[in-house]
C-alpha cells in the first residue's frame, strides 16, 4: 500500500491487539508483572505469538511467520507500547527476530526463528562486538545492561573472532553464562549484565553477512521502537486531554485555560510529527523508498524527543496526582526515558542525520546576502 495508507486488515489488527492488551495488560496487571520474576507472563507471551500471531508479522510464512509487512508489525507494536505490555518486545520482536529474518537460512537460524515467532522462547540481542570474543566455538566476555536478557532463553550476541565479526546464538541457561539482573529506571523493561565464560555458541551470521544482519536489525529495531514511542505518547496525550477536560479549578475545566490548552496543542504537534517519521521509517524499510539508515535516524531523533516531551508535559498537566506512585503517568515517563537511550539518544541520531544531510550538502542557490 502507498505510504501512510493502512489497509482494512491493518485496522482490524490494531483493534485485535488493543483488545488483547485491554484484557491482558491493564494497569493492575502491568504493575503486578513488573514486580514479578520474570517480569512478564510466559503464558500470555506464548498467546501473543501463537494465538494472536503478532510477534512475527513481517516474518515470511516459510519461516513460520505471518508473511505480512513491517507495517503490520509496527501497528501491533504501537498498541503494545500504548499499554506498556510486559514481555521481551525489545529483545525479541525489535531486534532478534529481524536479525534472524535477515540472516541466511540454516538449521540454527530456522529453529530459533520458529520458536521466537511462536512465543515459545524469548531472546535478547547485543549488537556491539567489542566486549565479547570468540575462541573456537565458545564466547568469552561481558555484555553490560542487556535488555530482556535476564529471562531470555537465547542470547544473540555479536562477537569478534581473530579477524572477523559474527553473530552468535548462546543458550542463556547453558554452561558458561552468568546473568546478573540490574535495577532499572523503567520497571517494565528489565536489563541484566551477562558474563560469558567459554560459553558454547552457534553461528547465526558469519563474516560475509554479520554486518548487514546486525545493521538491518538495528534499523528495524529503531523503526519499531519509534512505533512503540508513538503508541505510548498517544496514550498519554489522550490521558492528559481527558484530565484537562474534567479537572475543575477556579470553577472551570483547566483545559479551558490557554496555558494548559497550548501545552496540549504542542504535545499534539510533536506526536503527529513523531507518527509521521515513525511510519515513514517503517515504510522505507518495507518498500525501499528511502535510505533506511537516514529514515531510522530521522524517526529515532524525532520520536525519542517527542515521547519524552509528551511524558514530561503529561505529568505537568496532571499536576500533583501525576507525581504519585499510584498514577500510571510515571510508568510511561520512565519508559520514555529508557526508550530515548536504548538505540541511541536523539542527539546521537541527530549527529547521524547531520552526517548524512549537512556534511554532504552542496551550496546551490544560496540566498543573496545584503552587503550594506
Partner 1 sequence: MSNAADADRVSELARQVVTDHDPKAVPIPEFLGACFDAGLSWVHFPEGLGGLGVSRGLQSVADSILQGAGGPVPLALNPMGYGMAAPTVREHAQTDEVKRRLLRPLATTEDIWCQLFSEPGAGSDLAGLATSAVPDGEDWVINGQKVWTSLAHRARWGLLLARTNPDQPKHKGLTYFVLDMHAAGVETRPLRQLTGHAEFNEVYMTDARIPDAYRLGEVGGGWRVAMTTLMNERSALGASGSRRGAGTIADAVSLWASRPDLQTPVLRDRLTQLWLRAEAQRLTSERSRATATVGGPGPEGSIGKLVGAELNQHIYQFCMDFLGPEGILYHSYALREDDREDTDWRGPLQQRFLRSRANTIEGGTSDVMRNILGERVLGLPGDLRADAGMPWKEIPRG
Among 247, 273, 309, 348, contact with partner 1 (rule: CB under 8 A): 273
From 255, 292, 322, 344, residue interacting with partner 1 (rule: CB under 8 A) = 255
**Would you say 183 or 369 has its CB closer to partner 1?**
369
Q: Which three cell numbers stand for residue 294?
A: 537516514
CA distance 165 to 333: 37
Q: Is 268 in the site for partner 1 (CB under 8 A)?
A: yes
CA distance 91 to 104: 20
Using alpha carbons, select from 185, 275, 268 the residue that is nearest to residue 228: 275
2 binds partner 1 (CB under 8 A): yes
Q: Which residue has the cell 540454516?
A: 106
Give the C-alpha separation, 272 to 302, whole Å: 10
| Distances, alpha carbon 146 to alpha carbons 39, 43, 155, 306, 342, in Å | 15, 23, 9, 25, 10
The reply on whether position 74 binds partner 1 by CB under 8 A is no
Residue 245 as a binder of partner 1 (CB under 8 A): the answer is: yes
Segment (H or E) for 125 = strand 123-126
Contact stretch for partner 1 (CB under 8 A) within 3-11, 82-90, 120-128, 182-190: 3-11
49-57, 98-106, 194-202, 250-258 -> range binding partner 1 (CB under 8 A): 250-258
Length of the chain: 372
Q: Which set of grid coordinates corresponds to residue 199?
A: 560459553
- Figure out which of the listed residues 58, 234, 302, 304 binds partner 1, where binding follows CB under 8 A: 302
Site string for partner 1, 333-352 (x = CB under 8 A): --------------x--xx-
364 part of the interface to partner 1, by CB under 8 A: yes
Helix axes 8-24, 42-50, angle to 10 degrees: 160
Does residue 252 belong to the site contacting partner 1 (CB under 8 A)? yes
Which residues are 81's β-sheet partners? none
Q: Is residue 353 a contact point for partner 1 (CB under 8 A)?
A: yes
362 binds partner 1 per the rule CB under 8 A: yes
Name the residue nearer to partner 1 (CB basis): 102 or 317: 317
363 binds partner 1 (CB under 8 A): yes
Nearer to partner 1, 112 or 299 (CB): 299
Q: What is the DSSP letter of 96?
A: I
Give the nearer residue to partner 1 in terms of CB position, either 212 or 252. Answer: 252
Minimum distance between the CB of residue 12 and partner 1, rounded to whole angstroms?
17
**The C-alpha cell of 369 is what?**
546576502
Candidate list 24, 73, 222, 277; residue touching partner 1; CB under 8 A: 277
Decide: 46 and 120 in contact? Cβ < 8 Å: yes
Q: Which grid cell is 62?
A: 516459510
Contact 254, 247 (CB under 8 A): yes
Question: Binding residue for partner 1 (CB under 8 A) from 8, 43, 258, 325?
Answer: 258
Instruction: Give CA–CA dist 356/46, Å, rounded.
Output: 41
User: Cα-flanking dihedrals φ and ψ of residue 42, to 5°?
Assistant: -60, -30
Q: Which residues bind partner 1 (CB under 8 A)?
A: 2-5, 241, 244-245, 252-253, 255-258, 261-262, 264-266, 268-269, 272-277, 279-280, 298, 301-302, 347, 350-351, 353-354, 357-358, 361-372
Amino acid at each position: 500500500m502507498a505510504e501512510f495508507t493502512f489497509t482494512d486488515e491493518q485496522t482490524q489488527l490494531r483493534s485485535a491487539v488493543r483488545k488483547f492488551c485491554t484484557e491482558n495488560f491493564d494497569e493492575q496487571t502491568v504493575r503486578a508483572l513488573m514486580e514479578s520474576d520474570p517480569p512478564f507472563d510466559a503464558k500470555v507471551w506464548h498467546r501473543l505469538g501463537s494465538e494472536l500471531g503478532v510477534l512475527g508479522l513481517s516474518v515470511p510464512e516459510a519461516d513460520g511467520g505471518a508473511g505480512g509487512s513491517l507495517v503490520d508489525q509496527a501497528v501491533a507494536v504501537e498498541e503494545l507500547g500504548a499499554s506498556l505490555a510486559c514481555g521481551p518486545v525489545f529483545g525479541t520482536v525489535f531486534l532478534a527476530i529481524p536479525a534472524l529474518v535477515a540472516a541466511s537460512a540454516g538449521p540454527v537460524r530456522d529453529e530459533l526463528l520458529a520458536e521466537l515467532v511462536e512465543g515459545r522462547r524469548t531472546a535478547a540481542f547485543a549488537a556491539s562486538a567489542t566486549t565479547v570474543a570468540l575462541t573456537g566455538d565458545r564466547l568469552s566476555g561481558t555484555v553490560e545492561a542487556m535488555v530482556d536478557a535476564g529471562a531470555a532463553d537465547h542470547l544473540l550476541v555479536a562477537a569478534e573472532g581473530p579477524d572477523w565479526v559474527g553473530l552468535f546464538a548462546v543458550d542463556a541457561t547453558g554452561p558458561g553464562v552468568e546473568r546478573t539482573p540490574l535495577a532499572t529506571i523503567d520497571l517494565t523493561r528489565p536489563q541484566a549484565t551477562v558474563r560469558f565464560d567459554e560459553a558454547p555458541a552457534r553461528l547465526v551470521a558469519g563474516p560475509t553477512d554479520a554486518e548487514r544482519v546486525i545493521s538491518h536489525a538495528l534499523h528495524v529495531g529503531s523503526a519499531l521502537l519509534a512505533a512503540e514511542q508513538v503508541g505510548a505518547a498517544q496514550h498519554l496525550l489522550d490521558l492528559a486531554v481527558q484530565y484537562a477536560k474534567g479537572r475543575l479549578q477556579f470553577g472551570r475545566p483547566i483545559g479551558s485555560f490557554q496555558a494548559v490548552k497550548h501545552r496540549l496543542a504542542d504535545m499534539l504537534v510533536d506526536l503527529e510529527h513523531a507518527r509521521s517519521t515513525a511510519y515513514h521509517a517503517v515504510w522505507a524499510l518495507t518498500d525501499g523508498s528511502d535510505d533506511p539508515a537516514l529514515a531510522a535516524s530521522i524517526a529515532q531523533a524525532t520520536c525519542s524527543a517527542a515521547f519524552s516531551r509528551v511524558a514530561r508535559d503529561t505529568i505537568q498537566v496532571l499536576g500533583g496526582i501525576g507525581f504519585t506512585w499510584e498514577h500510571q503517568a510515571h510508568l510511561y515517563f520512565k519508559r520514555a526515558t529508557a526508550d530515548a537511550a536504548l538505540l541511541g539518544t536523539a542527539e546521537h541520531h541527530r549527529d547521524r542525520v547531520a552526517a548524512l544531510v549537512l556534511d554532504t550538502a552542496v551550496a546551490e542557490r544560496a540566498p543573496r546576502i545584503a552587503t550594506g
